[in-house]
Amino acid sequence: MLFTIDVGNTSINVGLFEGEELVHSWRLMTGIDRSADEYGSLLFSLLQRHGVSISSIRGAVLCSVVPPLVPVFTEVCTRYLDTDPLVVEPGIKTGLRLLVDNPRELGPDRVANVVAGTFLYGKPLIVIDFGTATTFDVVSAGGDFLGGAIAPGINIASEALFRRTAMLPRIELQRPKHAIGRGTVTAMQSGILYGYIGLVEKILREITTELESEPFIVATGGYANMFAEIVPAIRVSNPDLSLLGLRLIYEMNTM
């Protein structure tokens, strides 16, 4: 089995592959102050609960957009999973040409997403990751990673509205029944959600115009399912896209 770990700013997506099949996946809250022992104990408990033996894990692959947690999860893998992880970083094989100004600035989760996206859905491709930030990553018809766009995540936008105003409450992010909100909460839900839909659709139109060909558009991340239902241009939602990308990158670099 292969253990895959995608460390994000808000959550950590963990998956276990048996061959090409994702047999288990879990989402954990990111805690910058947690030790390797804390994370290791948590993961060990999850594996035990699902009847997975440590001896069945043949390898691990890790990507992280939180640099201080790279050594933490490297230690988790070596001490608790008894394997040295492959860390996705500049110079690693991805099967894509990275046509960006500085590949070292590119988040490894974005690389994992487009590796999996092109494998599953072909190219040209746009992957929208609805996470702490919302990222738009673009692959050309020739298979080149061209770059993309980064916007504040919808949760950040909602939280900022709550924190920077005196009378507006923290709200649940869900689609309101009407665009015209008859109360503060429904008015905020309308403004945030429909405003964000406008942001997503406008960025997609601009990117598609520059591509000069119709891309396949896939959503991933925590809010992928919600936006896939309400943005017609999004063809499919795949919340575990990065985990598949990590498996593919692992195979490219170890086999």
- Domains delineated in the chain: 2-87 (3.30.420.40), 97-241 (3.30.420.40)
**Of 6, 33, 82, 109, which one is the catalytic site residue?**
109
| Positive or negative torsion for Cα 181, 154, 213, 239 | negative
Q: Pick left, alpha or beta for residue 221 (phi over 0 → left; psi -120 to 50 → alpha; otherwise beta).
A: left
* Nearest partner of 252 among 14, 92, 57, judged by Cα: 92
- Beta pairing class for 11-18 and 2-7: antiparallel
pLDDT-derived band at 220, boundaries 50, 70, 90 = very high
Tell me the per-residue pLDDT of 23-79, one tens digit each, with 9 for 90 and over: 999 988 898 888 999 998 898 888 888 888 888 899 999 999 999 999 999 999 998
* Nearest partner of 111 among 147, 150, 165, judged by Cα: 147
Q: Please state, in angstroms and rounded to a whole number, the distance separating the CA atoms of residues 126 and 216.
A: 6
Active site residue 129: no
pTM of the model: 0.90
Tell me the per-residue pLDDT of 147-178, one tens digit each, with 9 for 90 and over: 999 999 988 888 888 888 878 888 888 888 88
Cβ atoms of 110 and 132 within 8 Å: the answer is: no
Q: What is the dihedral of CA 60, 68, 221, 244, to 10 degrees?
A: -20
